[in-house]
Structure 1
């Protein structure tokens, strides 16, 4: 398969899977569906599609624009409320990411830089973009983040159910009917 038809096939697979994920109400369907669809077409047909640098740059600009456009004037007022607890939580997650990344590197499981980028908190797109921009294997970083992302998304209903139950029983003292986690 020549480069353009292969690239178009991967893009079509990405869009199709994203739409399927949307229909199934899977969170973050554009990213997770796009990743799964592109990977399925790439692997299913034995392709090795390289997305042209100009398209990668344009996509990075779009992601940055989409994230930046969500910042409103009241964002910083809300930010002050959770600055201290948020900073503590991020520091703990960063420390865990660095520790596990270092262990994976020492054990020879991953390259040190890819291990750190794979285990750092942040969006899949952002971490992969940073890794690719620094010259590292984006597929390794995507793989690790997809495991993290799907684990979090699949366990989220249970975590929310437990959080509501703990809140009602031990914080507010209410012992009412069980809430619906969805």
Structure 2
């Protein structure tokens, strides 16, 4: 019997990441949960997502049949959106003025980092200009993959570059804070869900999640399943309707699903055949991290903002992942979420125009 060939690495389909079927899903969740327990035992920040991410990535590269259903991941992202919205406090309006300068610097940092990454990919890969350009943009994996494919780029390479960027950032920043700053917060203690008598709060949080997801899809917001619930949750928390958050156990489960989903993206990615592209993608991610730290220090020198919050606000990770890291490290979630949403809008709105008028497409 011939040995089954791995499926080709590609961006998320409509229904599945990795292998399809119930058994690959259950195996992925078991592996991710085991990783979460191990990293929680080691007192790592963002332990459940980081552990699930590492263990599932190793499983994917080892050839295990694991997979993640998009619907399950979207449901857990809704929970994280409601949780992040709870970080918006009534003094947010007073803070917006302080963030104005930081958002301007973020714009310059995004342009600088994307340019350096583009030149890096042109130097160390055989990709064409469209592929290098959209692989270098620190935007959402799916958004950049779809845009890049429409502009003539190679979707597989763009998806690989962004998946490795997110993986590198998720593995680097929490570990740095654990080893250098001693950060070891557990999600089971950093969130407080409604008490057994606060059924009204449960109803409010549930409504924010469901209505927010529908609103996000209707308005076609980027990261709609997180952004919509986050906006509605922020509104009810800013208005003082509730101050509750989703229970810690539910947040841990959501992190396991999200971390496992990251690892499942590498199903079918053969290191021996993609080592050059993978090395270049990891190098570009490190370049973006260094760029974020340098610009964050410039911003702190100008504005006096908290350095940790500014670094996480500028870090080139995914919107959901960086917001969760900020939550785990106890920094100002509203600042981190606002900056990453601004970056997403900036790239999605300007990226295609800059490419169309600034670069000549290769045949």
Fold shared by both chains (TM-score > 0.5)? yes
Matched, 1:166 2:326: no
Q: Secondary structure at the residue paired with 2:361?
A: helix
Q: Which residue number corresponds to residue 85 of structure 1?
A: 280
Q: Which residue number corresponds to residue 140 of structure 1?
A: 335
Q: Which residue number corresponds to residue 20 of structure 1?
A: 218
Q: Secondary structure at the residue paired with 1:107?
A: helix
1:1-182 mapped onto 2 (5 Å cutoff):
2-21=200-219, 24=220, 27-40=222-235, 42-43=237-238, 47-77=242-272, 79-162=274-357, 166-168=360-362
CA drift at 1:76? 2.9
Task: Work out which structure has the larger RCO, using CA pairs closer than 8 Å and 6 or more positions apart in sequence.
Answer: 2
How many residues align? The count is 165
Q: For residues 272 and 247 of structure 2, what CA distance do their matches in structure 1 show?
A: 40
CA shift in 2, pair 1:103/1:109, >3 Å: same
RMSD: 2.8
TM-score (norm 1): 0.74
Q: Is the 8 A contact 1:18 1:29 kept in 2?
A: yes
Q: For residues 240 and 215 of structure 2, what CA distance do their matches in structure 1 show?
A: 16
CA shift in 2, pair 1:78/1:105, >3 Å: farther
Gaps of at least 5 residues in structure 1 are: 173-182
Q: Is the 8 A contact 2:300 2:306 kept in 1?
A: yes
Q: Is the 8 A contact 1:9 1:41 kept in 2?
A: no
